[in-house]
Chain A
């Protein structure tokens, strides 16, 4: 225990790197997923094909292979990426290939009449996309995106493979150093601590999105000005009328 307390500054700096990597990865993944997802349901064949190639390419290689390929392959095309950037690039491409599929699925689940009635009202295709279709996919894509984000946060630990000093790597360093100095391995305790921290982060994320999901659901069903009880009554009425 003392060891962990003593190593806190080092662990903390590793954790900060992990946070930085995770937040940037999630942010870029979200943006690129949206972009590629929209491309994949575009009216234009060329955009759809480009999106398809992107998705198939990055989805079909293991994340670790992708990471190693980016890190060791980048110099071959004259790019030299530090471990952090290489990890960011590979996690984001992999994440957004999967994320854009979630978004495409969300769009495809909307009845096609929704788009048609928006167009019939005179909305332009872009207005239809942003004001009618996009708001409708938020709720259904939230759970799969939470899963993907969780996976990506966990995947940031892979960055240690190419030498990024993130949380897992600092833990490893501490274990190795202590083993060397004292002859005793604190691996169980240190990695147990690491496990707990990852668990807490992902668990908080899940709690947050579950809360968000509930909040949106309630906001979209509860009678805006009236109390919730009044609303239950109103929502139940048509159902019971149908049975009668």
Chain B
């Protein structure tokens, strides 16, 4: 993965969000968001419930449209036309809170669907890639099972592998561990740490502060639809600048 990252558009930032405003009807969810993520950088986004974290990362791959501002992924601007949307989506992988594996397909079929359909990769090659990533997430032996037969942690690791099969330049995570039983959180976090170790650009919404400390280059704190504080993990945890950040940290760290 790290090889593919430095080609062609190596000069552009992985993600550039500028002056982003978004409304749901007349309700404004995002207020003047500015965020740049460089290639290979890992950014953790946290903040109280309803602060717009999901909405922000969903805007980045156009699962939500935005009304104002610029969103660029690897130098490609996200417009309102479908071509730019598809262009950006093939560069960006996304992992959701509820794994969302396709229940009618086996694990392997889940992994090769998008590469064969979208990238027109020959089936054999797609299967080889899929097995490669299933090994990375440590469940190659489950390849021929159906999602329902796997535990939540295993399903989430498959979801990560499935995204990686498209060879994205950026991975977005929306609370990937918050629907998991405690004993399964670690296996998923380990997978994500390994991915970070390989230089993948990652934007991760999570309340796993241990993970943030370990892999994040920057922590972004959002509240009420705005970015309140951006800081290095160390500074963020030991010396939060904003009082809302302090209040939030007190709450999260107490639990």
Name A's B-contacting residues (CB within 8 A).
111, 113-114, 116-124, 127, 131-132, 135-136, 220-221, 223-225, 231, 234-235, 238, 241-242
Interface status of B231 (Cβ within 8 A of chain A): no
Nearest CB to that of A231 among chain B residues?
A: B149
Besides A120-B163, A135-B104, 9 more A-B contacts (Cβ < 8 Å) are: A114-B100, A119-B89, A120-B61, A123-B118, A132-B113, A220-B146, A221-B146, A224-B144, A234-B145
**Distance of A111 Cα from B150 Cα, bound (Å):** 19
**Distance of A221 Cα from B181 Cα, bound (Å):** 23
Contact residues in B for A238 (Cβ distance below 8 Å): 149-151, 154
Selected from B86, B117, B144, the residue in CB contact (under 8 A) with A131 is B117
Segment touching A, from B30-38, B90-98, B123-131, B222-230: B90-98
Contact residues in A for B92 (Cβ distance below 8 Å): 120
Closest chain-A Cβ to B121's Cβ sits at a distance in Å of 12
Selected from A122, A123, A135, A223, the residue in CB contact (under 8 A) with B149 is A223
From known contacts A136-B104, A242-B181, infer whether A223 and B96 are also in contact, taking CB-CB under 8 Å. no
Interface status of B114 (Cβ within 8 A of chain A): yes
Residue contact B118 to A122, C-beta cutoff 8 Å: yes
Residue contact B94 to A120, C-beta cutoff 8 Å: yes
Please provide the chain B residues from 132 to 177 with a CB less than 8 Å away from any CB of chain A in the complex.
144-146, 148-151, 154, 159, 162-163, 166
Q: List 27 A-B residue pairs with CB atoms under 8 Å apart, sorted by A's residue number.
A: A111-B98, A111-B100, A117-B94, A117-B159, A118-B102, A119-B63, A120-B92, A120-B94, A121-B89, A121-B93, A121-B118, A121-B166, A122-B86, A122-B114, A123-B117, A127-B117, A131-B117, A220-B104, A221-B146, A221-B148, A223-B144, A223-B145, A223-B149, A224-B144, A231-B149, A238-B151, A242-B181
Interface status of B103 (Cβ within 8 A of chain A): yes
**Distance of A119 Cα from B62 Cα, bound (Å):** 9
Residue contact B149 to A234, C-beta cutoff 8 Å: yes
Interface status of B106 (Cβ within 8 A of chain A): yes
Residue contact A116 to B63, C-beta cutoff 8 Å: yes
Closest chain-B Cβ to A242's Cβ sits at a distance in Å of 7
Nearest CB to that of B106 among chain A residues?
A: A224
Name B's A-contacting residues (CB within 8 A).
61, 63, 86, 89-90, 92-94, 96, 98, 100, 102-104, 106, 113-114, 117-119, 144-146, 148-151, 154, 159, 162-163, 166, 181
Closest chain-A Cβ to B114's Cβ sits at a distance in Å of 4
Closest chain-A Cβ to B158's Cβ sits at a distance in Å of 12
Residue contact B149 to A241, C-beta cutoff 8 Å: no
Which residue, A114, A223, A238, A242, has most C-beta atoms of chain B within 10 A?
Answer: A238
Nearest CB to that of A222 among chain B residues?
A: B146
**Distance of A113 Cα from B117 Cα, bound (Å):** 19
Contact residues in B for A116 (Cβ distance below 8 Å): 63, 96, 100
**Distance of A120 Cα from B96 Cα, bound (Å):** 10
From known contacts A223-B149, A234-B149, infer whether A122 and B89 are also in contact, taking CB-CB under 8 Å. yes
Selected from A120, A123, A223, the residue in CB contact (under 8 A) with B63 is A120
Selected from B61, B103, B148, the residue in CB contact (under 8 A) with A136 is B103
**Distance of A123 Cα from B151 Cα, bound (Å):** 26
Contact residues in A for B145 (Cβ distance below 8 Å): 223-224, 234
Closest chain-A Cβ to B117's Cβ sits at a distance in Å of 6
Residue contact A132 to B63, C-beta cutoff 8 Å: no
**Distance of A235 Cα from B145 Cα, bound (Å):** 10
Contact residues in A for B93 (Cβ distance below 8 Å): 120-121
**Distance of A97 Cα from B114 Cα, bound (Å):** 34
Residue contact A121 to B151, C-beta cutoff 8 Å: no
Nearest CB to that of A239 among chain B residues?
A: B151
Nearest CB to that of B86 among chain A residues?
A: A122
**Distance of A8 Cα from B90 Cα, bound (Å):** 65
**Distance of A114 Cα from B106 Cα, bound (Å):** 15
Selected from B106, B113, B144, B148, the residue in CB contact (under 8 A) with A121 is B113
Closest chain-A Cβ to B71's Cβ sits at a distance in Å of 15
Contact residues in B for A241 (Cβ distance below 8 Å): 151
Contact residues in A for B150 (Cβ distance below 8 Å): 238
From known contacts A121-B166, A135-B104, infer whether A235 and B94 are also in contact, taking CB-CB under 8 Å. no
Nearest CB to that of B181 among chain A residues?
A: A242
Residue contact A132 to B102, C-beta cutoff 8 Å: yes
Contact residues in B for A242 (Cβ distance below 8 Å): 151, 181
Nearest CB to that of B159 among chain A residues?
A: A117
Residue contact A113 to B106, C-beta cutoff 8 Å: no
**Distance of A241 Cα from B181 Cα, bound (Å):** 11
